[in-house]
Amino acid sequence: MVHIKLTVNSMVLIFLLIRTVGVFCRDLSEKDRNLRAKYIQKLLNKQKKYEGRIKLTGGPNMYEGNVYVFHAGRWGAVCDDSWDNQAATVVCRTFNKTGVATVGSQYGNATEKFWLDDVICQGDETSLSRCAFNRWGASDCKGDEAAGVKCLNKTDTLSLKKRKTRGKKLHEVLDLKKTGIRLVGGSDYSEGRVEIYHNGTWGSICPEAWSFYEATTVCQHLDMGYAEEALITFKYGFSNIILSGVQCEGNERSLFQCRHRQFGNVGCKSEKGHVAAVVCTQKLADLILDTITIERTAHLQDVTMYMLQCAMEENCLSRTAYEIQKHNQDWQYETRRLLRFTASSFNGGNAEFRPYLPKHLWQWHMCHMHYHSMEVFAIFDVMDKNGVKVAEGHKASFCLEDNTCLPGVDKKYSCKNYGDQGISVNCSDVYMYNIDCQWVDVTDVQPGDYTFKVAVNPHARVAEQSYHNNAATCRLRLTDSYATVFGCKLGRPYP
Ligand SMILES: *[C@@H]1O[C@H](CO)[C@@H](O)[C@H](O)[C@H]1NC(C)=O
Ligand SMILES: *[C@@H]1O[C@H](CO)[C@@H](O)[C@H](O)[C@H]1NC(C)=O
Ligand SMILES: *[C@@H]1O[C@H](CO)[C@@H](O)[C@H](O)[C@H]1NC(C)=O
Ligand SMILES: *[C@@H]1O[C@H](CO)[C@@H](O)[C@H](O)[C@H]1NC(C)=O
Ligand SMILES: *[C@@H]1O[C@H](CO)[C@@H](O)[C@H](O)[C@H]1NC(C)=O
Ligand SMILES: [Ca+2]
């Protein structure tokens, strides 16, 4: 793949060369000029063809390495902030494979400047540039923060998944009287790497798939509250890894109720010296999605595309709308069918919910006339009986504010005038059904029975006490003329 880069760099060179030569031989024949024009056009076409392409470098083969993406004529690296297996899946789909993410320049420091940062994918995007990210080139990452992937044959990961779900619960294989867990290496007792005692020694946990779900269970187990951070790090030191493949639901009271893959002498694919660690806290926000409001307010509305131009700029309609806009001169008179509903999130925790982006990175949204402080605060999906998405997964950026509060609680956060954003304890952020983009575009969905899923803080970008009240999975009945949403159940955003 190296030759692609060479071609593009040399393209500029050749272009300059031709121009220079041109100055000296003004009286080139028309034939020569045409040939030259054709040649340059060919090079430009090539550049267009490479737009959005992916290459992996630094790995043992072309399916493994740091990720580079081609944009505007040059290759650029991807920063590992927010980089996860969903993003790796999108990259590896290029090669008809699935994949796992690597972070921290596992395949060497980035050799080009960063094109992408804070990439958030759902996993079903057709290319990396369809995921959410900061602007092209907007990044403050250093060379040692390159994102990478390891692409695997689809069958490889299938067996991996099987192994995962088959993993036994720890209490089934451990003598609970002779084991325990502790945090080591932190500057205070509530943080550190997680160690587990067995057969006379303490050992660490392999951090593969270590997430807020596992970290929360560790903090609960130790009676230290909730996980403020779930870390894969060497900063709290290192000890022999004796446990791998830990997977918790996130609502267990004991780590021993979680599943695992291996215990004792285990293989661990993590970066050398990196182990699972947590920071626990007693004070944390806890968003609770209001399912009753979703059921009560959900309804269909047909809207002409003329009224939806602003929403289209924010990608709030499904792909077919953009095709109509492209191919149909009278597209403004076409209508879209929207499933609208109100989403209300109550902070029932004991700390404020604050966006993770610092204020200077908030994005101004012309249509909504306010700043968005979280790129993906909520996702809305409609799935058929087989779990296949039938209406495009919709990522909503929100402005966070106190819309309604319990009696006696003062509103503190407001989106107006570049105000501070957040959700106070005992207040709700309410996104009314009549707000732009607060919908799913169901124009292309046939009448029938579906599953409707709404999730807030879906990637756990902001730590919470519990994630099991962040997603509503509901039944949706769609007919030719109306829609009903009912039977909503609260759960965690990802199964
Ligand atoms: C992708 O891989 C699967 C399984 O290995 C194979 O069945 C399918 O034909 C492949 N598709 C393409 C486009 O290569
Ligand atoms: C990688 O980059 C980091 C930060 O920019 C730097 O400190 C480190 O020395 C670099 N490592 C190599 C091998 O170049
Ligand atoms: C993945 O599939 C390719 C082509 O089918 C095969 O050559 C290769 O050995 C496979 N890799 C692994 C690790 O199984
Ligand atoms: C316990 O440790 C001893 C030696 O340290 C080892 O021989 C034995 O196999 C271990 N048992 C288990 C169940 O890991
Ligand atoms: C929030 O409401 C609960 C229940 O009404 C109350 O116990 C708690 O003190 C309130 N917290 C704050 C910070 O207002
Ligand atoms: Ca929650």
pLDDT digits (tens, 9 = 90+) for 125-147: 888 888 888 788 888 889 999 99
d(CA 319, CA 337): 13
**Region 309-325 average pLDDT:** 83
Q: Are 312 and 226 in contact (CB under 8 A)?
A: no
Residue 7 lies inside a defined structural domain of this protein: no
Q: Residues of the chain with pLDDT > 90: what percent?
A: 47
Instruction: Tell me: do 142 and 237 sit in the same domain.
Output: no
Q: Is 449 helix (H, G, I), strand (E, B) or coil?
A: strand
Question: Using 50, 70 and 90 to split pLDDT, how confident is the model at 21?
Answer: very low
Tell whether 303 is covered by a domain: yes
Cα-based torsion angle of the residue sequence 487, 489, 494, 495 in order, rounded to the nearest 10 degrees: -90
Domain end call among 149, 165, 181:
165
Tell me, yes or no, whether 333 and 267 share the same domain: no
Tell me what pLDDT residue 23 has.
Answer: 45
Q: What is the pLDDT of residues 109-126, one digit of tens each?
A: 998 899 998 888 877 888
Please tell me if the CB atom of residue 154 comes closer than 6 angstroms to any atom of ligand 1: yes
Higher pLDDT, 17 or 232: 232
> Over 80: is that where the pLDDT of 364 sits?
no
Q: Residue 54's pLDDT band (boundaries 50, 70, 90)?
A: very high
Q: Has residue 10 got a pLDDT over 80? A: no
- Give the CATH number, domain containing residue 255: 3.10.250.10
Percentage of the chain lying above the pLDDT 70 cut: 86
**Residue with structure tokens 């593009």?**
8
Q: Is the CB of 409 under 6 A from ligand 5?
A: yes
pTM of the model: 0.65
Note the pLDDT of residue 165. 52
Average pLDDT over residues 292-301: 97
Same domain, 304 and 362: yes
Q: Contact 166/172 with Cβ under 8 angstroms?
A: no
Look at residue 312 in the predicted model and tell me its pLDDT.
Answer: 82
Q: Which atom of ligand 5 is nearest to the CA of 350?
A: 13
- For residue 442, what are the domain limits? 287-491
Of all helices (H) and strands (E), which one includes residue 23?
helix 2-24
Give the per-residue pLDDT at 64. 93
Predicted local confidence at residue 26, as pLDDT = 54
Ligand 1 centroid – CA 154 distance (Å):
9
Please count the structural domains in the chain.
3
Substitution candidate for ligand 2 out of 109, 111, 142 with most atoms within 8 A of CB? 109
Predicted pLDDT of residue 277: 95
How far apart are the C-alpha atoms of 57 and 107, rounded to whole Å?
A: 7
Task: Between 1 and 212, name the one with better pLDDT.
Answer: 212
Mean pLDDT (the chain) is 85
Q: Which residue has a Cα nearest atom 9 of ligand 1? A: 96
Whether the CB of 143 sits within 6 Å of ligand 2: yes
Last residue of a domain, one of 259, 281, 303: 281
Per-residue pLDDT, 214:
93
Which one of the ligands is nearest to 94 CA? 1
Residue 22 scores a pLDDT above 70: no
pLDDT band at 185 (very low <50, low <70, confident <90, very high): very high
* Nearest 10 degrees: Cα torsion 111, 115, 119, 122: -100
Name the residue with the closest Cα to ligand 5, atom 4.
Answer: 426
Would the CB of 484 count as within 6 Å of ligand 3? no
User: Does position 161 have pLDDT exceeding 50, yes or no?
Assistant: no
pLDDT at 154 over 90: no
Residues ≥6 apart with Cβ < 8 Å to 157? 98, 99
The answer to whether residue 296 scores a pLDDT higher than 90 is yes
pLDDT confidence bin for 7, thresholds 50/70/90: very low
Residue 448 lies inside a defined structural domain of this protein: yes
Q: Which of 178, 197, 199, 263 to mutate to test the pocket of ligand 4 (most atoms within 8 A of CB)?
A: 199
User: Which residue among 281, 300, 331 closes a domain?
Assistant: 281
